Every structure is written in structure tokens, then in C-alpha cells.
Structure 1
Amino acid sequence: MIDLQAFELLLDRFRGDGDELDEEHARLHRLTTPTSLDRTIGDDDSNELVDLLPDVNPGPEQAVMEEARETMVYDLLNVLDDRARYAVEQRFGLQDGRKRSYREVGEELGVTAEAARRLVKRAVNIVRESAPDQMDIDAA
């Protein structure tokens, strides 16, 4: 059964001149209506809405630096034998971006997790020792 008093209170609440409700509807409409990114904004119409969005793509400098870093890492790994290089690549996700645990690396190589850890540690030390002094491999 409908509570008439509650219903009348609700009607009284929204009975005003409608301005409050119209403002809320207009605000909701603005928030939910799609708009073009090419729409001009500002007083002088010299900017577009798209200009406010950040560019998530790396700039040319960042792309060159990333490529140089990758080249440096792979050049440094060339001092390792195939098994050690594979262990390092798997542990640090250098091939596919997926870092593996020592247990996973060990399973792939047919050794224990501890043996995989020692192999990776030894390989990293070899790379550090063979790196030219001017290269800061810890920053890479």
C-alpha cells in the first residue's frame, strides 16, 4: 500500500518552480552528451579540446633512447653463453616482457630454482665486469 504522506512530501519537495531540477537536468545532459574533440574552446577559439589531452605515445627522443638502451643491453648479454643468456632473458622478461621466477627459469632449464638463481647471479656479475667503465649498466 502506498504511504500517502510520504508521497505528498515527495511531491512538495519537487513542486517548486522547476529551476533546480532544470539545472540538474542540464548538467547531467552536458556530462552525458558526447562532444567532438575538434570543438574549439576558450575565449579566442584558438584551442581545441583535443589539445588538452596528454600524448601517451613516446616522443622521438624517448623512442631513440629506448632503442639505444635495448641495443646496449643485448650487446652486453653477448658475452654470456647461450644457457646463461637465456636464463637472464627469461628472469628479467627481456624477450616477451614477462618476468619469470627462479622456479620457472629452473623448470625451463631442467634445474632447481636455487641453481637458476645462482646461474642468473653469475651471469649478471659477468655482464657487470665486462661492461666498459663509461656504461652505467645499473641505470639501464
Structure 2
Amino acid sequence: MLSGLALPEAAAQGSSDSVPAHHDHGHGDYGHSGHGHDDPAHGSQFDTWSCRPTRVFEEADLRAWLAAPPAGLLRLKGVLRTASAGGEPGWSELQFAGRHGTLRKAAAPASGAALVAISLHGQLPTAALSATFGTSN
């Protein structure tokens, strides 16, 4: 959210604190019909997968994977041990959202390598994720 910009509904009511930021739309909008944001069903729309890979990944292989990820994946993020062709191992941050993925150098995390993936319920490509990154936690 951009700071300093009032929500249209709040501006019309004359107070920026009269409408909570998360509820700046009716629940008939955006596919939220039938439940509130605090309803447990709101979280059941998604499946998650995570792992702590132990191996070193080739950067070129990860970039190729990010260019053609498995169907159903909405979001993937984490930090992995990586190496470029002939290079020394290091750390990279992997980000994937929508149809775009990035891989960039990162500092070594204190807790080690970790990845988290999100998909719509029933569409998580678990087998493809496990085959590429390792067994889920």
C-alpha cells in the first residue's frame, strides 16, 4: 500500500481511520462472497509446501526451472545454496510469483536453506517440487 493515499471509501466518509485497510472492499468483490477474512475458510483456499534443501543447486538449472515452473504454483520463495558453472558455492534468494521468477545473490541465512510454496487448494504440484528441491517438511 502506498502511504499518504486515502482509500476512496474512507475519503468519502471524511476519516481515514473509519475503514480498516484490509476491508477496503465489499465481500461480494474479489471472490470473497460467503465468508469474512477472519473466517478459517479463508485460509483453506490455499495449500502450502516447504522444505529445507541440503544440496547445492546450479544457478542455470534454477533459472530454467523458474522459466517453466509446474502448473498450479502461485508463489515460491526461499534461500538456497547455489553455484554458477565452475564457481564457488554461495547463497541465492529464489522468488516466484505469478509467471515471473528471480534468482539473486543473498547472504547466508542463520537458519540454513528453506523454501515455501503456495497454490490454490488441490493444485499444489507437490511431486514436482519434491523432485526438484527435496522432500517436504
Q: Which of the five TM-score ranges fits, normalised by the shorter chain?
A: under 0.3
Q: Hey, which of these two has a bigger chunk of helix by percent?
A: 1
As a proportion of its length, which structure holds more strand? 2
Q: Which has the higher contact order (CA 8 A, sep 6+)?
A: 2
TM-score, scaled to structure 2: 0.23
